[in-house]
Amino acid sequence: MTNDVESFSITKNKLDPDTAREVYEIGLPRLLDVYARHDIKCTFYFTGEMAELVPESVELVTEHGHDIGCHGYDHSHDRAFDSMSLMEQTAELEKAKNVIGEIAGRIYDFRAPALRINESTIRALEQTGFNTDSSIASQRFDGPLTFGSKRKLKWLVAPRHPYHPSYDSVVKKGDSKVLEIPISAFIPSYIGTTMRVSPLILKVLEKFLFVESRRTGKPIVFLFHPNECLDASSGITPVRRADNPIEYIFADVLRHALKSRNLGVKAVELLDDVIRRAKDAGFEFVTVQEYRRIAK
């Protein structure tokens, strides 16, 4: 179970300091309670901005015994890692790592905001002391419903098992020291959004992933956000982020409508069901670093 912790408001469709506080006061307690009831440990990827705005949120997660990772410094769609040079990415990682590490101690795990990375990301991670990444979603296809969708087409040819990426291509095996642990997917992805948009589609995908894992030993990686545990706010006009009209229609309007489904308590209940099904199927839960040690 992996969790991306950021100040993004699903209802407002923008980064929001008030949402950061709500994630700490409402979202994280609801989520941590689910994990505590099931006695499982997870990895939480924090943005540096979230750690700066509400440092208590990092402390709360560590007090519950979970691992802390890095989700970049902020979640701005115009500061995506796949649009940055090696030097820019290294600086961004150092900035985020210093902020988060000051609270949580040394961190080794990374997941890019919006899962957007390029070939320079692997070198940047090595240079800043990270040893895992979980930004690739093998065989996931979002079409135009996400920012950076054209660059994410390469996910369709990415290895399904954890692998060390090549320095020439993040979707090919190579000699890097970073272990890529892909988010589970097969067209739709095994994430909270899919779970909330269509619990039925998630269950069908889940059955496939469970069978695949039993046959091949491939780990299953679920992605969730504590802001999904926040109740939807009414009467709010979402912010437009995309300049391109087509991207605005799909990545802002349609995607926002889908992502706004089953938020709050309903999301918590659906997540609880996901965990119960996995436990009933005999799966064990480990953090990213625990899996890295197992894989070695």
Give the C-alpha separation, 58 to 212, whole Å.
34
Give the C-alpha separation, 7 to 14, whole Å.
8
Looking at residues 269-280, what average pLDDT do you find? Answer: 98
pLDDT over 70 at 34, yes or no = yes
Cβ-contact 103, 58 below 8 angstroms: yes
- What letter would DSSP give residue 185? B
Provide Rg for the chain, Cα atoms: 18
- How confident is the model over 49-80, as pLDDT tens digits? 999 999 999 999 999 999 999 999 988 877 89
Query: Who's near 279: CB < 8 A, 6+ residues apart?
Result: 38
- How confident is the model over 122-180, as pLDDT tens digits? 999 999 999 999 999 999 998 765 656 678 889 999 999 999 999 999 999 999 999 99
Concatenate the DSSP letters of all residues of 44-79 into one string: EEE-HHHHHH-HHHHHHHHHTT-EEEE--S---GGG
Closest by CA position to 108, among listed 87, 84, 134: 134
* Residue 193 belongs to domain spanning: 2-295
- Overall number of domains in the chain: 1
Query: Who's near 122: CB < 8 A, 6+ residues apart?
Result: 133, 165, 167, 170, 176, 178
pLDDT at 293: 95
pLDDT over 70 at 252, yes or no = no
Token pair, residue 174, equals 């190579």
The pLDDT > 90 percentage for the chain reads: 81
What is the domain-level CATH number for residue 128? Answer: 3.20.20.370
pLDDT at 250: 44
Closest by CA position to 27, among listed 193, 225, 196: 225
